[in-house]
Every structure is written in structure tokens, then in C-alpha cells.
């Protein structure tokens, strides 16, 4: 009887879909530009912005799905953002307004 319950439990657990784990995406900032102009990601993913310029950058978004300001950071430093909602996220640098990118966030 116990063995039968164990087999049923194992079969039930195998049928449960395993959710994909969150991913880390690194976005480099170099030559006053984001290395990518668009990025596809999922809710829960982490975006790591890495400054490879010899001067400071600032990362912010006024997008309705996730408004934020990560602040200013210098050469060799990183800032992180965890994506919380699906939709289109427009990212900019407050210091260099020509620096823009979009992240398409899926569920």
C-alpha cells in the first residue's frame, strides 16, 4: 500500500510543470550607448547594467509598468533591476539623453 502511494505521488509531481528560473541579463554601457537597443526578458529576470565608459551614467525609466531611478554610477560599477511586470519598459540615461533602450518584458 505504501509503495502504491509513493508511485502515485511521484507521478503527480512529475506532471507539475516546472517554472523556468529567472535569468540575469548584462547590458553594457560603452561609448555613450547601451550595447543593445532592445532586449526580451521575463518577469523576475534581473538586468545588470555595467558601465564601461570612463564617466558616470544614470539609469531610469518613467514607464508605467515599472518606474525607477537606479542613480548615478561610475566606470566599472554595476546597477541591477529585477523586472516585476510584463509590458514595454523604456530605459534612459539621465546624463546622456541620447542613450535609450527598450526591454520587452513577458510573463
Does a structural domain hold residue 7?
no
In a domain, 17, yes or no: no
pLDDT tens, position by position, 56-72? 999 999 999 999 999 99
Convert the pLDDT of each residue in 37-49 to its tens digit. 999 999 999 999 9
* Helical (H) or strand (E) element with 39: strand 38-42
User: pTM score, two decimals?
Assistant: 0.78
Are 56 and 35 in contact, with CB atoms under 8 Å apart?
Answer: no
* pLDDT-wise least confident of 11-25, 56-70, 91-105: 11-25
- Tell me if 49 sits within 8 A of 80, measured CB to CB: yes
Extract the C-alpha cell encoding 66.
515599472
Domain assignment of residue 4, yes or no: no
Report the domain count for the chain: 1
Residue 66 within a domain: yes
Residue 68 lies in a domain: yes
Tell me the CATH number at 28. 2.60.40.420
Amino acid at each position: 500500500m505504501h509503495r502504491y502511494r509513493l508511485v502515485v505521488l511521484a507521478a503527480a509531481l512529475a506532471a507539475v510543470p516546472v517554472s523556468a528560473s529567472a535569468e540575469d541579463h548584462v547590458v553594457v554601457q560603452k561609448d555613450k550607448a547601451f550595447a543593445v537597443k532592445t532586449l526580451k526578458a521575463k518577469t523576475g529576470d534581473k538586468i545588470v547594467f555595467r558601465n564601461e565608459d570612463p564617466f558616470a551614467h544614470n539609469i531610469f525609466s518613467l514607464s508605467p509598468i515599472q518606474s525607477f531611478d537606479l542613480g548615478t554610477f561610475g566606470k566599472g560599477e554595476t546597477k541591477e533591476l529585477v523586472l516585476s511586470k510584463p509590458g514595454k519598459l523604456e530605459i534612459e540615461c539621465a546624463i546622456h539623453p541620447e542613450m535609450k533602450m527598450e526591454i520587452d518584458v513577458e510573463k
